[in-house]
Amino acid sequence: MSGRLRATAEYGAALALLGLAWWYASGPYGMPPYLLPSPASVLTTLWNMLAAGQLLPHIAFTIQNIVLGLLIGTVFGVLLAYLLFKTPFLNDVLEGPLVVLQTAPKIALAPLIIIWFGLGLTAKIVLIFSLVFFPVFAGALAGFRAIDSRLHDLAQLLRLTPAQRFFRVDLLASLPSIFVGVKIGAIQALVGAILAEWMSGAQGLGYLMTYATATYKTPILFGAVLLTALFGMVMHALLNEIEARFLSWNVPDER
């Protein structure tokens, strides 16, 4: 617990230092506001937008896409990994192509995805999905393969049904490994969501960035970047919290 407190303190100190440097550069040092707006002007802009109801819809849109993409990507990543784990034939046929796809730069495919899936929500979710799917798939497959063979013996001994095997043994045993994939996927999902909004649509934090750039409203740009970074941090903290709460069985107790 004290370790966690210290980590939070260190984190806070680093942020404060960064804020101070920002304030110094934009204030006493005298960077022009269109290059570097002051912290105060950014916060004021954000506040005004919030009060006018112009901010929350964008935030909600981006979060919604990330959560949807993350959920769908995780479910499909885990299911396909389990399918491959359970059917050696599929594993032999699909593993090669999947490795190739996994290494393909999905970000570079973003324009193609937009051509295929249109300018709307679908393309955005598909892009995020493609970014989340592979790390989760890889983590899950590694997890399923690393299950202690004696747990399989136990499942067979207890004559568990296929569903019981999956939900009560295999999935839980691989959860730590799946979670490694989800954590990587979550960061990718954030990148993917912003990128997708840069390219099309008129909603989301990513759109806000392109809009602000095009109209030289630098404080809005900074605000959007700040909010994106903040969201990334919250997501990271949330995932760590989930891990600490539900996967502690996997971590040996300190003695």
Least spacing, CB of residue 143 vs another protein, in Å: 13
Q: Closer CB to another protein, residue 24 or residue 167? A: 167
Min CB(253)–another protein separation in Å: 6
For another protein, give the closer residue by CB, 215 or 250. 250
Q: Specify the residue, 100 or 150, whose C-beta has the smaller distance to another protein.
A: 150
Binding site for another protein (CB under 8 A): 148, 150-151, 153-154, 156-160, 164, 168-169, 172-173, 175, 249-250, 252-253
- Other CB atoms within 10 A of residue 15 CB: 12
Q: How far apart are CB 231 and another protein at their closest, in Å?
A: 30
Q: Is the dihedral of CA 38, 215, 109, 56 positive or negative?
A: positive
Contact criterion met (CB below 8 Å) for 193 and 232: no
Q: Which of 221, 186, 217 is nearest to 205 (CA)?
A: 221
Torsion sign (Cα): 247, 162, 133, 93: positive
Minimum separation from the CB atom of position 224 to another protein (A): 40
Q: Residue with structure tokens 């979550």?
A: 186
Name the residue nearer to another protein (CB basis): 142 or 247.
Answer: 247
Nearer to another protein, 15 or 158 (CB): 158
Q: Min. distance of Cβ 140 from another protein in angstroms?
A: 16
By beta-carbon proximity to another protein, the closer residue of 32 and 150 is: 150
C-alpha 177 chain-centroid distance = 16
Q: How far is the CB of 169 from another protein (least distance, A)?
A: 7
What are the b/e assignments for 118-149, b being 16+ CB within 10 Å?
eeebebbbbbbbbbbbbbbbbbbbebbeebee
Which two three-digit tokens encode residue 186?
A: 């979550």
